[in-house]
Chain A
Amino acid sequence: MMKSLPITIDSVRKAYGSYVALDDVSLDIRAGEFLTLLGPSGSGKTTLLMALAGFVRPDRGKLLLGDRDITRLAPNKRDIGIVFQNYALFPHMNVLANVEYPLALRKTPKAEARRRALDALARVKLDGLAERDIAALSGGQRQRVALARAIVFEPRVMLMDEPLSALDKNLRETMQYEIRRLHDDLGITTIYVTHDQREALIMSDRVAVMNSGRIQQIDTPQQIYDRPSTRFVAEFMGEANIVGPGAARRIDGADASHETLMIRAESFHLDAKIVGRDGVALEGTLRAKAFRGENWLLTLALDGGQEILVCIPSALAGGCAELATGQRVTAYAPAAKVHPIPGAVA
């Protein structure tokens, strides 16, 4: 197993003219961790990745690999494995030559380079394709070659820039699993960039949500999903309802929270008994309903005028088909799924 290193990002700033791509970003990544940078396009996640790779020069700040300062190091001296969004495989070399390329640059003896390249190809399940031309590979196979090429020289850190965005849905799910397995086998510190929140939740040890050049929240997938610290994180991670103070009442009649609350659409039930007495209730008029296969999506207009989304699993939605728009409906959510967002205004 390779020795992996922690990464320290210390107040890194990058501006292009008046546009601030990275706004004093600080982040510690533990050795061997799988961390995902999640955010919409333009949030700065790729810029941060490219700064680590050495292709974007920060205006100031420090980047450390272990205790080594790499801020000013040339990209070719950083020993970081990178998987690019479009794979960036060399079309004038075959699969084996692509994977041997970093070893050739390190003057690895021919026989050893061959052995290690074939090893890496076997790890990504590409045995037998070593002599293929890049042009003759499918998208998924290219992805695997790019992975093999990035791990073959045993880098201590791996960066991946939306590596699965070009693949179709099924292949993407297979590759998510395989990339994670590869990470677990090698124990290599990995930073993964994506704009797909599901992908981030599935794959990561921790997720850092970015927006406008800043890290909004960094936490485990579950914390990020259930306990978002900002409205942006709450909404970016899935169907979230942000309701103002007073909109929700406690089922047991106790004083309702005076904070702004986040309740995910799928946290609701139509049956108060499931929720428990410390849960909350929201009452409104049914505006629309849609059957989505695994669940029903109801749109309720609260009395204050705000609309909320209520998602009821099909298995528990016996009465949903009979609901008519215009009808009064009450949705209940258990206390554990009601999360106050400090400072947010509904």
Chain B
Amino acid sequence: MLEAYPDNRLARILLWSFCALVLAFLMLPTLVVVPLSFSASDLLEFPPRAYSLRWYGNFFGSATWMAGLRTSLILGTLTAMVAVPLALLACISINRLGGRTALAIQGALLTPSIVPGILLAIGLFFVLAAQRLVGTLFGVLVGHVVLAIPVACIVLLPALARFDWNQVQAARSLGANWARAIGGIIVPQLQISLLSATLMAFLTSLDESVISIFVASGQNSTLPKLMFLSLRDQIDPTIAAISTLWTVIVLVAVLIVSLRQKS
């Protein structure tokens, strides 16, 4: 865009050095964790003087951490399994209804992403407390699903808007009812978008901490809740190992989805 000003070299150099600093600022905290996770000492020295895998050993050897990991993975999977089909149906409804009704539904479904997490968390805590459901997997699941629905909708709504609805008419004219048209025509063609929506829903649940902190407990504590508690108490290098694993897994997942999107 600025190629109309080829002579302004000083401004260009200043702008790009500034940008390099900002990009470094963005990358630094994620990257700094990686070498620390391989450190042999329990001091957080940088660079580490000796390397080992003891913090990874710590993580995989701890029953508490493993339970947290298990809970988080189960929750993430369940969240994606519940939120994506619900979001898909809702998005079809929004797309077909149009007009004010569609806007109202869309608005309602996007509320959870606007309301501060802390409010959802304590409100959900109150509601679950009244039903004696605090600390159950169900309570956290409901909280995560409600956060994942808007995320999935944001992926699926544009995909449905691009979809060739003549195909549904064709399927209907050939004898398909709505259920078969959705399952046989819409779903297979939205595969990629549904895959991203599933991944996003899964990551939303995996990454969610505030609701977990208030609503999950004991056996059902999620990994982020355990990490949060551990961060508040002391700086345990085990967290560096978890963070590294976490980042690698998320990056691989995102890479797979974006590569599939391109092919």
- A binding-site residues for B, Cβ under 8 Å: 53-55, 74-82, 84-86, 88-92, 101-102, 105-106, 149, 153
Contact = CB atoms under 8 A, between A and B. Distances in A.
Interface string B165-190: 01101111111110010001100110
Contacts of A102: 174-175
Contact of B189 (A75, A81, A85, A92): A92
B233 interface: no
B164 interface: yes
A76 B172 contact: yes
Interface residues of B, number: 18
Contacts of A89: 170
Contacts, number: 60
Contacts of B170: 82, 84, 88-90, 149
A86 B164 contact: yes
Main secondary structure of the interface of B (DSSP, over half): helix
Contact of A105 (B169, B176, B189, B191): B176
Nearest to A80: B173
A92 B171 CA distance: 13
Nearest to A55: B169
A12 B263 CA distance: 48
Contacts of A79: 175
A153 B172 contact: no
B185 A90 contact: yes
A105 B173 contact: no
A101 B180 CA distance: 11
A75 B166 contact: no
B164 A82 contact: no
B174 A153 contact: yes
B180 A105 contact: yes
B72 to A, nearest CB: 34
The list of the 4 closest CB pairs from A to B, nearest first, reads A88-B170, A102-B174, A88-B166, A105-B175
A81 B167 CA distance: 14
A89 B170 CA distance: 8
Nearest to A75: B172
A78 B170 CA distance: 13
B174 A84 contact: no
B31 to A, nearest CB: 41
